[in-house]
Structure 1
């Protein structure tokens, strides 16, 4: 079982010394990985619905300074030795496919195989327009084709591709990722996300708090995992080849202990509750968990990491 925490990519904690301290302390404290999030820019007016709040509004603080995700991943990789870096998640259509494949392969090469690629198709149409991506309405097809491009470039000796959005041949693409193929964790809880996971994902990587597709109780998560197994078999793959991961955006005591339809709401309450939820999800096959443990500053964040290690991780390992 792997346990990770979030590295800051926005707000005051992105100052180089703060970011460096949080990442290196996470490694020293025994966290297995850190996550880095992805927004290139935040439009000042957003009509698109944010999937992870009841209101559909993007959380406050959108105007905060932000780091680019893959640059941040490379910075963390250079400052650490054992810590894995997970993109959580990379909005695949935001960047050109071949360039993205090269950047990811380079990070994996320079980190000696420590990159995990969490992916999503994206939700904010206004950001797509501002960046100048392919059409927002085609983001699902774009995501799938861009991932096929990455796999071809990462694994083929003489890569070539003839798709709707990307075409190339007679090219070379060394160095390959040391892992052979960078693991792909597919974020999202919707039907398309599950089908994408079943088709080519190495792990399903949901957040429990999507109000449209909640995975916030053990029963709901089990139902989602069962649906994924069926879709994976239908896609002609062994369900055992697809792992289960789970992302939690908050830290212990951020939300009072709650219930849904008489069943415990996952990752609410204190550290004891969190440890119990990790054990319950581990028993149904989840092999990776990560948590947002930010404090007001770097010192407070490191304090949260230490308490989480002592009060939660120590109870589940």
Structure 2
């Protein structure tokens, strides 16, 4: 079976959000991409208070200085597309009030004819948690658990009832409802997060950092699902943060998905062989503008399909 290919929408500062997002979304759908994706980066602390991914000394990339709000970006794409699914990889869920996020996702799904995929994670930035002011960073797992439960309740039949720590709905009619059940996918790496995924989510959102590592993580997740008696299949979408260069990268320290379109496609072939459902290719960091992004998107898609991805 051919691996589905998704595409990351332009959210960074070199793009004009109001015109480039609809333009790139329409173009990506026309090229043949199966889905369109956004990510969340709420702010850029200056001076830095912690390293990227909470790794001491690892600098935040300059591209994170200006990232458009993900659901607004997806709404712009939804309005000009018909077929492509609309996903988040990922929303930092505990930065959002659970009831409001559930309602926003339901509205977007209803408006788009049932195309939303809710990809959620807990994030890692202490500054983002402080700015959002929902709950402290230490409670992120607990907040995510409640948010998933609130979404299921709000998207389900009326009257909606829920009694949690953050959310209390005595009995209410809440609409619009999603056009169909919205799949919830989680970015999960540690044991506790993987258990949450197996028990409460529809799928998994790993990051492609090497095919061998991805295959090992996938086996671990499948083993855990079997151990916990899960019978529902786990949907999978691998996020690929590509660094495209016009010429091939020939250094000894080349990272996966770094270099020319041909090199990126080589890595796509290796990752597709792991056997997951879909690969989301995010190419937005290096292009100068939307025109260049569209050209790279077309080249990577055509070469990937020609290579059997």
Q: 1:34: how far off? A: 1.4
The answer to whether the Cα contact below 8 Å between 1:251 and 1:291 also exists between their aligned partners in 2 is no
Deviation at 1:297, TM superposition (A): 0.7
**Contact between 1:189 and 1:207, CA under 8 Å: does it hold in 2?**
no
Task: Answer with 163-172 or 123-132: which moved more.
Answer: 163-172
Inter-partner Cα distance in structure 1 for 2:250 and 2:226:
37
- In 1, the alpha carbon distance for the partners of 2:23 and 2:12 equals 15
- Tell me how far apart the structure 2 counterparts of residues 197 and 300 of structure 1 sit (CA, whole Å): 37
Matched residue, 1:284: 274
Count of residue correspondences? 304
- Give SS of 1:244's match: strand
Specify whether residues 46 and 139 from structure 1 end up closer, same or farther in structure 2 by C-alpha distance, changes over 3 A only.
Answer: farther
Is the alpha carbon distance of 1:276 and 1:43 closer, same or farther for their aligned partners in structure 2, counting shifts above 3 Å?
A: closer
Partners in 2 of 1:12 and 1:123 — Cα distance? 25
Q: For the structure 1 residues 47 and 148, does the alpha-carbon distance in structure 2 shift closer, same or farther, using more than 3 Å as the test?
A: same
Q: Helix, strand or coil: the match of 2:65?
A: coil
In structure 2, do the counterparts of structure 1 residues 39 and 217 end up closer, same or farther at CA, with 3 Å as the change threshold?
closer
Which residue of structure 2 lines up, in the alignment, with residue 140 of structure 1? 141
Correspondence for 2:230 among 237, 240, 249? 237
Structure 1 residue 160 displacement after superposition: 1.3
Query: What are the residue-to-residue correspondences of 1:59-78 with 2, within 5 Å?
Result: 59-64=61-66, 66-78=67-79
Deviation at 1:306, TM superposition (A): 1.4
Give the match's secondary structure for 1:79: coil
SS in 1 for 2:53: coil
Q: Distance in 2 between matches of 1:145 and 1:296?
A: 40
Separation of aligned partners in 2, 1:52 and 1:31: 33
Q: Which residue of 1 aligns with 2:155?
A: 154
Alignment of 1:1-317 (within 5 A): 1-51=3-53, 55-64=57-66, 66-179=67-180, 181-208=181-208, 216-238=209-231, 241-251=233-243, 256=249, 266-268=256-258, 270-294=260-284, 295-316=287-308
SS at match of 2:89: strand
Displacement of 1:195 in angstroms is 2.3
SS at match of 1:165: coil
- Distance, in Å, in 1 between the alignment partners of 2:55 and 2:44 is 17
Matched with 1:211 is none
**What are the ranges of 5 or more consecutive residues in structure 1 without an aligned counterpart?**
209-215
Q: Contact 2:21/2:73 (CA < 8 Å) preserved in 1?
A: no
TM-score of the superposition, structure 2-length normalised?
A: 0.88
Normalising by structure 1, we get a TM-score of 0.86
Farther off after superposition, 277-286 or 302-311: 277-286
RMSD: 2.5
Measured after TM superposition, the shift of residue 21 of structure 1 is 1.3
Summarize the Cα distance change of 1:279–1:13 in structure 2 as closer, same or farther, 3 Å threshold.
same
Please report how far the alpha carbon of residue 108 of structure 1 lies from its aligned counterpart in structure 2 after TM superposition. Answer: 0.2
* 1:113-164 superposed Cα distances (whole Å, 9 cap, x missing partner): 1111111111111111112121111011101111111011112332211222
**Residues 259 and 173 (structure 1 numbering): CA distance in 2 closer, same or farther, change over 3 Å?**
farther
Alpha-carbon shift at residue 185 of structure 1 (Å):
1.7
In the alignment, structure 2 segments of 5+ residues that lack a partner are none
In the TM superposition, residue 5 of structure 1 has moved relative to its aligned partner by 1.3
Distance between the aligned counterparts of 1:99 and 1:178, measured in 2? 18
2:9–2:38 CA contact under 8 A, matched in 1: yes
